[in-house]
Amino acid sequence: MEPKRLVIFGRQGAGKGTQCDRIVENFKVIHLSTGDMFRAAVAAGTELGQQVAPIMESGGLVSDEMTIAIVRERLAQADVVENGFVLDGFPRTPGQAEALLEMLGDRGLTAVVHLDVPLAEVTARMKARGRADDTDEGIAKRLALYDQETVPTIDWFSDRGLVLTVDGLGSEAEVTERLIKAISSASGG
């Protein structure tokens, strides 16, 4: 069977981390998180790591150029080509989205999954988990940033008919079932 090539979007508090794990188990794809890649580069003290460390610390976005380069390198590796992937945290700008489709060429994406949970619900979930950075102000700020930077990228994919919106309300198992069904039936664009 053709490996799945997926992108997942979801607000903080939407359960994206857990559902990513389920997608990996189910479709045997490789989880690719640009945040993890950058953190690994920082930890390893590579040249890239030294460049991105201050950007990440200030909460800014790494340049499209550096981000696209790190993803391009990883997507070309044999394990990813053979098993497919679920991209998490990339693309984050329409420019990155365009570069992604260009690097995949004829293979394209199987689907872009949007794990949809209403703003009021993610706010309540984040407040309930009571993490130190989950102050009312902090939560509102991070959620607003998602609308500013990520929603235009989801819209970019929507315009190309690639987005599967999956209702993220309900139990973890219910959401997993919906996701697996949606991805299994996706043929890509």
Positions touching ligand ADP (CB under 6 A) are: 34-35, 38, 55-56, 59-62, 67, 89-90, 92, 96
DSSP state, 93? S
Q: Is the dihedral of CA 126, 127, 133, 139 positive or negative?
A: positive
Rounded Cα gap, residues 42 and 104, in angstroms: 27
Q: Count each helix (H run) and each strand (E run) in the chain, helices first.
A: 10, 5
Least Cβ distance, residue 177 to ligand ADP (angstroms): 26
Least Cβ distance, residue 181 to ligand ADP (angstroms): 26
Closer CB to ligand ADP, 19 or 67, in the complex = 67
Rounded Cα gap, residues 6 and 104, in angstroms: 11
Closer CB to ligand ADP, 138 or 170, in the complex = 138
| Nearest Cα to Cα of residue 92 among 152, 142, 41, 11 | 152
Closer CB to ligand ADP, 38 or 156, in the complex = 38
Least Cβ distance, residue 187 to ligand ADP (angstroms): 26
One-letter-per-residue 3-state SS of 13-38: CCCHHHHHHHHHHHHCCEEEEHHHHH
Tokens linked to 188: 């890509």
Minimal CB distance residue for ligand ADP: 35
Closer CB to ligand ADP, 132 or 173, in the complex = 132
User: Which contiguous run of DSSP H or E holds residue 122?
Assistant: helix 119-129
Closer CB to ligand ADP, 45 or 60, in the complex = 60
Least Cβ distance, residue 142 to ligand ADP (angstroms): 7
Least Cβ distance, residue 9 to ligand ADP (angstroms): 11
